C-alpha cells in the first residue's frame, strides 16, 4: 500500500523509462491505484504514435480501472495528436480520481485536460510531488513555455578547472563511467552544439552510444566547421544565439546540449541562455598552461560572482558530476 506521494514517485520511475524514446512528446509515467492504495498497473509514454502513459496504464489495469485512482506525472492531454485525447480514455475507463503532478503548459492542453475531467465528474487532485516532476520534465516544460530548448552546458574539467592541456587536446580528462554518463546525456538531448574550435581540435562524433543502441541527435556547429569534419551533416550557425535557440525549438529540440568549447559555452553563459550545467570533475591537475573551462566572464567584485544552485552530485568512478542550475 502506498500514499499519493509514493504513487507519484512510482509514476516518475515509470516516466524515466520513457526519457529517451518519447521526445518530442513528454516522458510521462502513470500508476493505477485501487481503494486500498495497491498498485494495479503502471504505464509510460511509448515512442511517438504509440500510447501515452495514461492509456498504457489503463489498458494494463483493464476492468479494474473502474472506480480507481489514476496517478500521472503530467496533466492528461485533451487534444487529438497522433493518438486520441487521453481524457476520453480516462472517462471511458470509469476512473474516479485523477492525481496530477504538474499541469501541461502546451497551449493545446493548458488546463483543458483537467477541466474536461472535472466536467465529466472525475475528482482531480493537482500538484502532488510537483517539484520532482517539474525537474524530471524540465526540458519539455521549458520548450512548451518558451518555444526554446532547455539548454544544458556540459563540461569535463580537471580539479583546477581546465578542459584541455597545453597542446589543446582534451581526450580524455574523465574516466569511462563519466563518459558513459555523458553519452546518456547526449541521448536525452535532441541536438548537440559545439564551437568550430572544438570541431577543429577534437572532431567529435557527437553520437550517443548506449549499449547496442546509437542515438544521433541533431548536430549543430557554431562558426564554420572544417569541410573534412566528421560532424557533418549538421547545421552550421553563427551570430546571435537567441534566434538559433528559436530555430531549434521550432525543430522540436526540447533539450540542447552545449558541449563547448570554452568560448562557445562562455557565450551561452554570458547571454544568460544556460539552464543547467552538467559539470564533470576529474581528480586531475592540468596547471595554468591548460585551457580554462570558461573564458571572458568578467567578475570584478564578489557581488558579481555568478552563483548557481546545486541540484545533484553524482559519483562516477573516480569522477564527480555536479548538476548546477545557473
For the bound state, the minimum distance from the C-beta of residue 63 to ligand NAP, rounded and expressed in Å, comes to 54
Near ligand NAP by CB under 6 A: residue from 181, 188, 259, 319: 259
- Which residues of the chain form beta strands (DSSP E)? 29-33, 39-44, 69-74, 97-102, 123-126, 150-158, 162-164, 191-195, 208-210, 213-215, 218-222, 235-237, 255-258, 276-282, 291-292, 309-316, 319-325
Shortest separation between residue 291's beta carbon and ligand NAP, angstroms = 5
Q: Which of 6, 84, 223, 308 binds ligand NAP (CB under 6 A)?
A: 223
The residue among 33 and 185 lying less far from ligand NAP, judged by its C-beta, is 185
Nearest C-alpha neighbor of 132 from the set 16, 265, 258, 261: 16
Q: Is 81 in the site for ligand NAP (CB under 6 A)?
A: no
Minimum distance from residue 243 beta carbon to ligand NAP (Å): 11
| Smaller CB separation from ligand NAP, 39 or 194 | 194
Nearest distance from C-beta of residue 199 to ligand NAP, angstroms: 7
Report whether 174 contacts 156 (CB < 8 A): yes
Cell of 100: 496530477
Of 25-33, 195-203, 206-214, 299-307, the window that binds ligand NAP (rule: CB under 6 A) is 195-203
Q: How far is the CB of 101 from ligand NAP (least distance, A)?
A: 33
Residues 58/83, Cβ–Cβ less than 8 Å: no
54 is catalytic: yes
Q: Which of positions 226-255 make contact with ligand NAP (CB under 6 A)?
A: 238
CB of 166 to ligand NAP, least distance (A): 10
Q: CB under 6 A: which stretch of 35-43, 126-134, 176-184, 196-204 binds ligand NAP?
A: 196-204
DSSP H helical ranges for the chain: 4-16, 53-61, 86-93, 112-119, 130-136, 138-146, 176-187, 196-202, 241-250, 262-270
* Interface residue with ligand NAP, options 267, 284, 324, 326 (CB under 6 A): 267
Q: How far apart are CA 57 and CA 193, in angstroms?
A: 36
Residue 267 CA, distance from chain mean position: 21
Would you say 207 and 234 are in contact if contact means Cβ atoms under 8 Å apart? no
Question: Residue 55, interface with ligand NAP (CB under 6 A)?
Answer: no
- Of the candidates 308, 296, 311, the residue with the CA atom closest to the CA atom of residue 265: 296
Interatomic CA distance for residues 77 and 52, integer angstroms = 9
Write out the binding residues for ligand NAP, residues 106-165 only, by CB under 6 A: 155-156, 163-164
User: In this chain, which stretch among 45-53, 58-66, 218-226, 297-305 interacts with ligand NAP, using CB under 6 A?
Assistant: 218-226
C-alpha–C-alpha distance, residues 258 and 195, integer Å: 9
**Residue in 54, 75, 188, 259 annotated catalytic:** 54
Q: Would you give the end-to-end CA distance of the chain in angstroms?
A: 39
264: contact with ligand NAP by CB under 6 A:
yes
Q: Which residues bind ligand NAP (CB under 6 A)?
A: 155-156, 163-164, 168, 170, 173, 194-198, 201-202, 222-224, 238, 259-264, 267, 291
Q: What positions carry a catalytic annotation?
A: 54
Amino acid at each position: 500500500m502506498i500514499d499519493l506521494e509514493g504513487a507519484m514517485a512510482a509514476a516518475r520511475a515509470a516516466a524515466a523509462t520513457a526519457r529517451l524514446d518519447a521526445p518530442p512528446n513528454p516522458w510521462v509515467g502513470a500508476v493505477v491505484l485501487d481503494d486500498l492504495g495497491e498498485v494495479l498497473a503502471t504505464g509510460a509514454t511509448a515512442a511517438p504514435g504509440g500510447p501515452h502513459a495514461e492509456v498504457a496504464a489503463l489498458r494494463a489495469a483493464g476492468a479494474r480501472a473502474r472506480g480507481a485512482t489514476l496517478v500521472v506525472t503530467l496533466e492528461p492531454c485533451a487534444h487529438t495528436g497522433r493518438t486520441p485525447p487521453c481524457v476520453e480514455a480516462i472517462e471511458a475507463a470509469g476512473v474516479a480520481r485523477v492525481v496530477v503532478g504538474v499541469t501541461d503548459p502546451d497551449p493545446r492542453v493548458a488546463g483543458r485536460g483537467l477541466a474536461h475531467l472535472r466536467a465529466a465528474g472525475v475528482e482531480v487532485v493537482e500538484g502532488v510531488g510537483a517539484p520532482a516532476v517539474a525537474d524530471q520534465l524540465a526540458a519539455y516544460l521549458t520548450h512548451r513555455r518558451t518555444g526554446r530548448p532547455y539548454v544544458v552546458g556540459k563540461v569535463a574539467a580537471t580539479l583546477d578547472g581546465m578542459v584541455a592541456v597545453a597542446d589543446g587536446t582534451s581526450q580524455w580528462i574523465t574516466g569511462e563511467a563519466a563518459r558513459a554518463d555523458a553519452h546518456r546525456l547526449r541521448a536525452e538531448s535532441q541536438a548537440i552544439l559545439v564551437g568550430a574550435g572544438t570541431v577543429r581540435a577534437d572532431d567529435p562524433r557527437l553520437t550517443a552510444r548506449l549499449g547496442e543502441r546509437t542515438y544521433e541527435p541533431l548536430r549543430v556547429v557554431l562558426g564554420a566547421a572544417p569541410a573534412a569534419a566528421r560532424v557533418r551533416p549538421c547545421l552550421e550557425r553563427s551570430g546571435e544565439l537567441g534566434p538559433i535557440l528559436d530555430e531549434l525549438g521550432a525543430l522540436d529540440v526540447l533539450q540542447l546540449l552545449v558541449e563547448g568549447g570554452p568560448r562557445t559555452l562562455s557565450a551561452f553563459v554570458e547571454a544568460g541562455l544556460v539552464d543547467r550545467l552538467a559539470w564533470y570533475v576529474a581528480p586531475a591537475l592540468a596547471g595554468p598552461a591548460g585551457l580554462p573551462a570558461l573564458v571572458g566572464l568578467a567578475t570584478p567584485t564578489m557581488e558579481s560572482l555568478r552563483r548557481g544552485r546545486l541540484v545533484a552530485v553524482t559519483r562516477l568512478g573516480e569522477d564527480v558530476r555536479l548538476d548546477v542550475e545557473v
